[in-house]
């Protein structure tokens, strides 16, 4: 398949809506409810890969997930886009932040930019 996006959000409706938009744009999409599930999926996800991560989630939140991805050598090639309704600065390792509510065109631009900046050996 083509480029893979992992959508990580604890809100099922948000997760499904984002996945639908990405599927229509031609991406392969994986979804996860939290950071634990996301880490399991990322371990076997095809590359290149972008992780679209909500920062506020129960259990393992987006801040912890981003930190885990950055600290794991096998996952360092994953480009990270964070989503949040908050105004906190982005966590280290995050390539971009989408402030909720964002529209489909903002999502598409951020994902395209993340794939464009992905390490060349990941493609």
pLDDT tens, residue by residue, 45-69:
999 999 999 999 988 889 999 999 9
Tokens representing 92? 């280290």
Q: What does the alpha-carbon distance between residue 121 and residue 110 come to, in Å, rounded to a whole number? A: 21
pTM of this structure: 0.93
Q: Which among 100, 96, 99, 101 is positioned nearest to 112, based on CA atoms?
A: 96
Quickly count: other Cβ atoms within 10 Å of residue 54's Cβ: 24
Q: Give the model's pLDDT for residue 118.
A: 76
**What is the CATH classification number for the domain harbouring 41?**
3.40.50.2300
Q: Tell me the C-alpha distance between 58 and 9, whole Å.
A: 10
Count up the domains in the chain and report the number. Answer: 1
Range of the structural domain that residue 85 is part of = 4-122
Average pLDDT, rounded, for the chain? 92
């Amino acid at each position: 398949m083509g480029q893979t996006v992992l959508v990580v959000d604890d809100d099922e409706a948000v997760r499904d809506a984002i996945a639908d938009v990405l599927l229509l744009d031609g991406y392969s999409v994986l979804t996860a409810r939290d950071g634990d599930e996301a880490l399991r999926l990322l371990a076997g996800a095809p590359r290149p890969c972008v992780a679209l991560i909500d920062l506020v989630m129960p259990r393992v939140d987006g801040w912890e997930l981003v930190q885990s991805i950055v600290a794991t050598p096998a996952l360092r090639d994953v480009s990270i886009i964070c989503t949040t309704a908050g105004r906190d600065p982005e966590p280290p390792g995050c390539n971009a932040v989408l402030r909720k509510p964002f529209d489909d065109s903002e999502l598409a631009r951020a994902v395209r930019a993340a794939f464009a900046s992905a390490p060349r050996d990941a493609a």
